[in-house]
Amino acid sequence: MNYKLIFSISKSMLLARLRQTSVAAIGVTFSICMFITLLSFMTGLNDLLDGLILNRTAHVRLFNEIKPNDKQPINTSADFKNTYNFVQSVKAVNSRKELYNSEAIMNAVKKDDRVLGLAPKISAPVFFNGGSVDIAGVINGIDVEAESKLFFFNDYVVKGTSIDIKNVSNSIVLGKGLADKLLVNIGDVVQVITSQGEQFPLKVVGIFQSGLNDIDKVQSFASIATAQKLLGKNNNYITDIQIKLHDVKQAPEIAKEYSQLFETDAEDIQTANSQFETGSSVRTIISYSVGITLLIVAGFGIYNILNMMIYEKMESIAILKATGFSGKDVQLIFIVIALTIGIIGGLLGLLLGFSLSSVIDQIPFNTASLPTITTYPINYNPKFYIIGAIFSVITTFLAGWFPASKASKVDPVIIIRGK
Amino acid sequence: MSEIILQAKNINKSFHDPITIPVLKDISFTVNKGEFVSVIGKSGCGKSTLLYILSTMDTDYQGELFIDNETMTNKKEAKLAQIRNQKIGFVFQFHYLLNEFTALQNVMLPGLKLKKYSEQEVEHRAMERLKKLGIEQLALKPANQLSGGEKQRVAIARALINDPAIIMGDEPTGNLDKRNGQIVFDIFKQLAEELNQTLLIVTHDSEFARNSHRIIEMEDGRIIKQ
Ligand SMILES: Nc1ncnc2c1ncn2[C@@H]1O[C@H](COP(=O)(O)OP(=O)(O)OP(=O)(O)O)[C@@H](O)[C@H]1O
Ligand SMILES: [Mg+2]
């Protein structure tokens, strides 16, 4: 096979009708560009919504649930071993929210290589004294560095600096809604009343805005030491251990394992946020259907353009065949033409898609609920670019293959006599 | 006895569109090496149809065809293409050049396809043939910028590039004025006389036919005189 000749014929045919070639290539470019841009934008939005939950939620949370004991005394008695015992009106007693042996648990979890990191937490219900009224709220004692690293706490502190709750003693970061209700700002002091009835003054060093109003109206953050002091507990007191995993899908399995291993309650993110799971998967399905639809539409467009292009060249096909080129030669010529259009158009489409995404990435997008987001989100996933590239090559190949193989099979005389 | 280049044996062809009409009926004849044969007959008697079969471009017929003592009947498409490339030069009534290429490239393409000579040699041979036809100055012009007569001469140069066993033409002068038609005829005559080139030309021009070596006359799908 004389490939050099095939390539040079293809090249001449492409260049001779540069305008037509460009139109075909632009068709491919446009389709691929739209595919990349839309999918980047849609999945960007999805990731943003997912991030709202995923970023600040532990994959596995270890804690002690307040609940009646499973092992009621009567069941441990040897006398009633072979009977079925009904105990009514069981109540929870001794509501210790503390995680026993938290130090040892944390050391063990840290050694697990499925775990990305952990952040200990104390949550304490309190009242904030705002003049004549008391406002119910929660103080979370956190390790601010771990919290920032794993749950992007920093991103949500819209005023002041988060690290101050560690550096300034007796300090607090208030949720924005809470601060508004209390009419306090950075530098002010709020009075906190614990559930034991003790009152503490805490200095406001930051304002926190999560984007979820219900949270911002009740939540506040202090260092672990401050929270322990507030509750009058020693420095081993921890109520929650929040764990982030490398792979979120392992959460249910690991939660189960830890619950048995450490004899605590363990909740995985899938259970804690089942409605989020559904929403997220529905959105993913929508993105994929839009992506597939775009590709199918693009595919037909590309096929049509190339089909027309080849039928316009029927006369040339007949001449080539009359002068001794075989059907296979003709087919190869048109496949080279189609692939050239596909590769050039596709590459341009990827570039243009990237540029268009970057432009969208610059468009301001300000919303009160998302303080960290300033522009529309774009997901620059290389997967889209790979799919786009493969798709443009495959469709142009097929779009060249079918009409070309049909053209290669007819006797040249059919075309010539048809004139 | 001289060497036989082309032999048709009992060739029949019908069109089935929508009813079956026989167009060629039992055509048998031979063309010897170096002969300049013209085919004449009334419009619609089947001359073009016959020529397309003889040039292997139409494979839908009954009967048998030999070119250079090799049967063409029931050969594979790729093999027929190779035979057209190597042994047959075809000149159409309409010029049928590839508009994407220059005159020179049009002439070179079948030569490059044959791959018997290097690219430089093919180019040299193409220029030789353009020179012989008096159009070497047009070599680098795009094919669609040539006049009808010029195009026809380029098409003849293309037909000659691989030194074919036979040149076939379907009314190659039919679309030209008298002067250009005369030029083309003279070229054919010269090819036959000087190079002993075998030619089989369909024509309406009775003067053209009279000046060739031999006339095959057709009527209603049959050869009535040869
Ligand atoms: N594709 C076709 N389908 C049906 N009939 C056809 C087809 N092509 C040609 N014919 C018929 O076959 C007959 C011979 O046609 P052909 O073109 O061979 O004539 P011709 O001798 O070359 O005429 P002309 O001198 O006008 O070129 C005509 O009657 C024509 O109508
Ligand atoms: Mg005819």
User: Tens digit of pLDDT for each residue in A118-165?
Assistant: 899 998 889 998 777 888 999 999 988 888 888 888 888 888 888 888
| pLDDT number for residue A370 | 67
pLDDT at site A152:
82
**Residue identifier of the C-alpha nearest atom 20 of ligand 1:** B44
Pairwise CA distance, residues B38 & B27, whole Å: 15
Contact predicate B88/B56, CB 8 Å: yes
Q: Which residue of B has its CA nearest to A315?
A: B96
Between chains, do B78 and A326 touch, taking CB under 8 Å as contact? Answer: yes
Residues of chain B contacting residue A325, judged by C-beta atoms under 8 Å apart: 81, 85, 113
Asked whether residue A354 carries a pLDDT value surpassing 90, the answer given is yes
CA A402 to chain B, closest CA, distance in angstroms equals 18
Please give the share of chain A, as a percent, with pLDDT higher than 90: 13
Residue nearest to atom 7 of ligand 1 (CA): B15
The finding on whether B13 has its CB within 6 A of some atom of ligand 1 is: no
Smallest CA separation from ligand 1 atom 10, residue: B15
* Yes or no, beta carbons of B90 and A323 under 8 Å apart: yes
pLDDT tens digit string along B54-82? 988 888 899 999 998 888 888 888 888 98
**pLDDT of A95 over the 70 cut:** no
> What's the pLDDT at A359?
93
Give the position, in ligand 1's atom list, of the atom nearest the Cα of B51.
18
CA of B100 to the centre of ligand 2 (A): 26
B57–A12 CB contact, under 8 Å: no
pLDDT of residue A368: 64
Residue with token string 């049967």: B71
Residues of A with CB below 8 A from B114's CB?
Answer: 324
A37 band by pLDDT with thresholds 50, 70 and 90? very high
What number of other Cβ atoms are within 10 A of residue B200's Cβ? 26
Which residue in A120, A69, A126, A127 sits closest to A95, CA to CA? A69
Fold of B36-43+77-225: Rossmann fold (3.40.50)
Which chain B residue is nearest to residue A328, measuring alpha carbons? B78
Q: List all residues of chain A from 7 to 66 with a beta carbon under 8 Å from chain B.
A: 9, 12-13, 15-17
Sole residue written with tokens 């010897």: B32
Chain B's closest residue to A317, CA to CA, is B98
> What backbone torsions phi and psi does residue A324 show, to the nearest 5 degrees?
110, 10
The answer, yes or no, to whether residue A229 has pLDDT greater than 70, is: yes
User: Which are the contacts of A404, defined by CB distance < 8 A and separation ≥ 6?
Assistant: A310, A330, A331, A333, A334, A335, A338
Tell me the HSE value of B48 on the side-chain side, using a 13 A CA sphere: 17
Ligand 1, residue B52: give the atom nearest the CA: 18
A419 has a pLDDT exceeding 60: no
CA distance B182 to B194: 18
User: pLDDT tens digit string along A169-196?
Assistant: 889 999 999 998 888 888 889 999 988 8
Q: Are A326 and A8 in contact (CB under 8 A)?
A: no
| Chain A residues with CB-CB distance to B58 below 8 A | 411, 413
Average pLDDT of span A82-90: 80
Distance B201 CA to ligand 1 centre (A): 17
Give the amino acid at A75: N
Per-run averaged pLDDT (10 residues), chain B, 226 residues: 83 87 89 90 89 89 89 87 90 82 91 88 91 86 86 89 89 81 86 88 85 88 82
Higher-pLDDT residue of A257 and B173 is: A257
B85: chain A residues, CB-CB within 8 Å: 323-325
Alpha-carbon distance values, B88 to B5, B125, B153 (Å):
11, 17, 17
Residue A356 confidence (pLDDT): 94
Q: What is the pTM of this model?
A: 0.75
What are the chain B neighbours of A320 within 8 Å (beta carbons)? 98, 109
Write the DSSP symbol of residue A375. B
**Mean pLDDT in residue range A20-32:** 87
A51-62 burial: b if 16+ Cβ within 10 Å, else e = bbbbbbbbbbbb
Structural tokens at position B192: 């036959």
Residue minimizing CA distance to atom 5 of ligand 1? B15
